Amino acid sequence: MTIERTGILLLVSGPSGSGKTTLCRRLADEGEAIYSTSCTTRPSREGERDGHDYYFISREAFEQKVSNGEFLEYAEVHGNFYGTLKTEVLNHLAVGTDVVMDIDVQGADQVRDCDDTSIQVALVDLFVMPQTEDELLKRLTGRGSDAQEVIELRMKNALGEIDNWPKYTYRLLSDTREQDYHQFKSLIIAERLKVSRLKNL
């Protein structure tokens, strides 16, 4: 008797500096899930690779993909567009592969509202946030790759974004990197045990 299960769509949101991207990347690097690489119109930062960190595309190309219906969700964040291609998610879920996606709160609303049943069965949503505002500011400043005005804008946006945490099923209050990852990985391990994900029983 083969018991297969459908893939999990682990949707992770949280303010800049919460460490969510590191968590998602590590899960993918350890082979626990496929990382959904997003399209963005923002310029790449030093060290970022096209096709790995993001698909860096022009605004025109982004708009074309919107009109072709290629996105599962998309949103404007900090003045740039970001979107998840359906191809980065749906085919993997269908064959039982888990997918992790790092998207903002507007995108999360769209995924929750999506009427595709395979998404609804797969979806696990988590909000990652620092324990205090001081800690958030420290983390935003600590990255060192952005200008002061960018940090201020991100702090303002981050506080607005944090207001959304009650919409999520799970919340992780950030502690040490290791502790965070331990909890994060435990979540996907537990979700894999869900009876509702089993098929061909």
Write phi, then psi, for 77 (nearest 5 degrees). -130, 130
DSSP 8-class letter at 109: H
Using the rule CB under 6 A, is 103 a contact of ligand 5GP? yes
Residue 80 contacts residue 42 (beta carbons within 8 Å): yes
Using the rule CB under 6 A, is 7 a contact of ligand 5GP? no
Our CA angle for 71, 32, 191, nearest 5°, is 85
Closest distance of CB 160 from ligand 5GP, Å = 12
Which residues contact residue 36 at a Cβ distance below 8 angstroms, ignoring those fewer than 6 apart?
Answer: 84, 85, 88, 89, 99, 100, 101, 102
Closest distance of CB 82 from ligand 5GP, Å = 3
Using the rule CB under 6 A, is 129 a contact of ligand 5GP? no
User: What is the C-alpha end-to-end distance of the chain, expressed in Å?
Assistant: 8
Using the rule CB under 6 A, is 19 a contact of ligand 5GP? no
Using the rule CB under 6 A, is 102 a contact of ligand 5GP? yes
Site string for ligand 5GP, 36-55 (x = CB under 6 A): --x---x-------------
Residues 65-94 contacting ligand 5GP, CB under 6 A: 73, 75, 77, 82-84
Residue with the closest Cβ to ligand 5GP?
Answer: 107
